[in-house]
Structure 1
Amino acid sequence: MAGYVDDVVIPYDRDLGPVLFEHYGADTARRVAERSPGDVLEIAAGTGIVTRHLRNLLPRDARLTAIDISDSMMALARTKFLPDEQVTFRNADATALPFMDASFDAVVCQFGIMFFDQDQAFGEVYRTLRRGGRYLFRVWDSEQYNPFASLSFEVLKRFFPSDTPRFLCDPVACHQIDPIKERLIRAGFDPIVISVQRHTYDILDVSAFARALVYTPIIFEIRDRGGVNPEDIVDALAEAFRQAYGASPTRYPMQAILFETEKR
């Protein structure tokens, strides 16, 4: 998530995190912790939302390593942990993991695989897992089920009809199950369990949520095009969410796909 820098990181963590990532992160941590792994790696850890849930549930003596390619993301993640909590943060590339073979009992990646080469990344996870080790990751389902992408694109198209910023379409561009399954099989993983998980969240401050969506890396596309005040887009997007999903609260739907597999 190299595009998450400077003024993008805080709204991502504070206003997108509770809506889009906390629920799924807690579920991921529960699934990983149920087998009491000793060494866990989290890839594309971002601002440490899932990392915090993992550390809360893993055995106290378990070693947790969190990596991301964004310095700004990692800097914020570090602030969520005390020095004695056995969390190691590293800036690292998911396609070239800086770890020895068979280093981990579990590897986790929440909503990250759409941003890097999957064949290389899956191969690296397989290499660094121990026999019997688990690999869990999520992707967003299509934009049909995730209005942070579809509704945002509709609103952005009003402001930029001929050259609409598309960054928020990238996270939902990895929803086709079969290609991912085939890449996992080629990497050597077996068995592979796939589940679709729907969730609804009550957004109390829809304006803050809309602003955080605009101040993802899509803000750089908006600024490059020029001629539009980003706050006007925020206002239009917030109103679109209220009209589509109600107000006080806004009942926001989302849908993700979970992959769980092992190294035999």
Structure 2
Amino acid sequence: MSSSDPAFSGSIPELYERLMVPMLFEPYARDLARRAREVAPASVLELAAGTGVVTRQLAEVLSPDAAIVATDLSQAMLDEAASREIARPVEWVAADAMSLPFADASFDLVVCQFGVMFFPDKPTAFAEARRVLRPGGSLLFNVWDEVAANDFVAVVQAALAEFFPEDPPSFMAELPHGYHSADRIRRDLELGGFTRPVAIETRPDESRASSAEAAAIAYCQANPNRLQIERRGSLDAATRHVTAALTARFGSGPIKGRMQALVVSTTR
């Protein structure tokens, strides 16, 4: 995705922050920030910061003297992040994770929440992360586990396949939930120059939404899945169909379901 790609622009950043962040990302952001605090970094680089859910957590828990630089390929997402209240000043930089505009050995910690899956060339991105890390510095990131381990996504995918039987949208399965092989992650890290032991922890949690409709809007309209749906037919009709499927599975009113991610850490 290029910086001009509409995938994370238009109405998506605001919907993403309002609907997807509390439903999916806040619990894992707190977890990553806790792990980052244990590293006690003096300087942190965040990749694929999105609307800043991890950035805000880092600003809360890290040492007051720790410098935070938050990057994302999408300026629209960074603008949304910068508009939110945060506990300390943060440097927001539009940057490509595969070609970082920072000097060698600039950071003690590189952190990334649910962004690695989107990097077209993961070994190159890992090599860039390693380049900007100081010797002994840490790389910390998480990725989603497979669709089957994430209840909301599984229902959404099945509903969209039913609604578009000849050409189901593939975004969710191929990108957000398409990079969960521990062997592949370790191989890509090694290709990127990380030769020290890699820790990969399975981290279950619970996703919550105020309603089935809110979850359906989040999955159908607040991420690049929207573009695939719009190319195939009516976004509103598809969202209604997904809402009905989520309601049938989880009921009316507030809903909850299993979600699961992998947390990966290593050092330079």
Percent sequence identity over aligned pairs = 38
Partner of 2:226: 219
Residue pairs, 1:1-264, within 5 angstroms: 2=5, 3-81=7-85, 85-116=88-119, 117-169=121-173, 170-186=175-191, 187-215=193-221, 216-226=223-233, 228=234, 230-263=235-268
Please say if residues 71 and 91 of structure 1, whose CA atoms lie closer than 8 Å, have aligned partners that are also in contact.
yes
Q: Which amino acid aligns with 2:264?
A: F
Please say if residues 126 and 189 of structure 1, whose CA atoms lie closer than 8 Å, have aligned partners that are also in contact.
no
Q: Which amino acid aligns with 1:259?
A: V
Cα deviation for residue 48 of structure 1 reads 0.4
Please say if residues 22 and 49 of structure 1, whose CA atoms lie closer than 8 Å, have aligned partners that are also in contact.
yes
C-alpha distance 91-114 of structure 1, shift in aligned 2 (>3 A): same
Q: Which amino acid aligns with 1:219?
A: R
Q: Aligned to 2:139, what secondary structure does the other structure show? A: strand
Q: 2:230 and 2:206 mapped to 1: Cα distance?
A: 32
Q: 2:148 and 2:98 mapped to 1: Cα distance?
A: 29
Gaps of 5+ in 2: none
Cα deviation for residue 189 of structure 1 reads 3.8
Please say if residues 229 and 238 of structure 2, whose CA atoms lie closer than 8 Å, have aligned partners that are also in contact.
no
Q: Can you list the C-alpha shifts for 1:180-209, whole angstroms capped at 9, x where unaligned?
A: 112223312412111001111332222112
Q: Which amino acid aligns with 2:228?
A: E
Q: Which amino acid aligns with 1:198?
A: P
Please say which of residues 217-226 and 38-47 is displaced more in the overlay. 217-226
Q: 2:101 and 2:208 mapped to 1: Cα distance?
A: 40
Cα deviation for residue 81 of structure 1 reads 4.1
Q: 1:232 and 1:18 mapped to 2: Cα distance?
A: 25
Cα deviation for residue 174 of structure 1 reads 0.4
Q: 1:204 and 1:225 mapped to 2: Cα distance?
A: 28
Gaps of 5+ in 1: none
Q: TM-score, normalised by structure 2?
A: 0.92
Q: Which amino acid aligns with 1:262?
A: T
How much is the aligned-residue C-alpha RMSD, in angstroms? 1.6
Q: 1:189 and 1:151 mapped to 2: Cα distance?
A: 39
Aligned residues: 260
Please say if residues 62 and 86 of structure 1, whose CA atoms lie closer than 8 Å, have aligned partners that are also in contact.
no
Q: TM-score, normalised by structure 1?
A: 0.93
Q: Can you list the C-alpha shifts for 1:105-161, whole angstroms capped at 9, x where unaligned?
A: 000011111111110011011111011111111111111112343222211122211
Please say if residues 181 and 192 of structure 1, whose CA atoms lie closer than 8 Å, have aligned partners that are also in contact.
yes
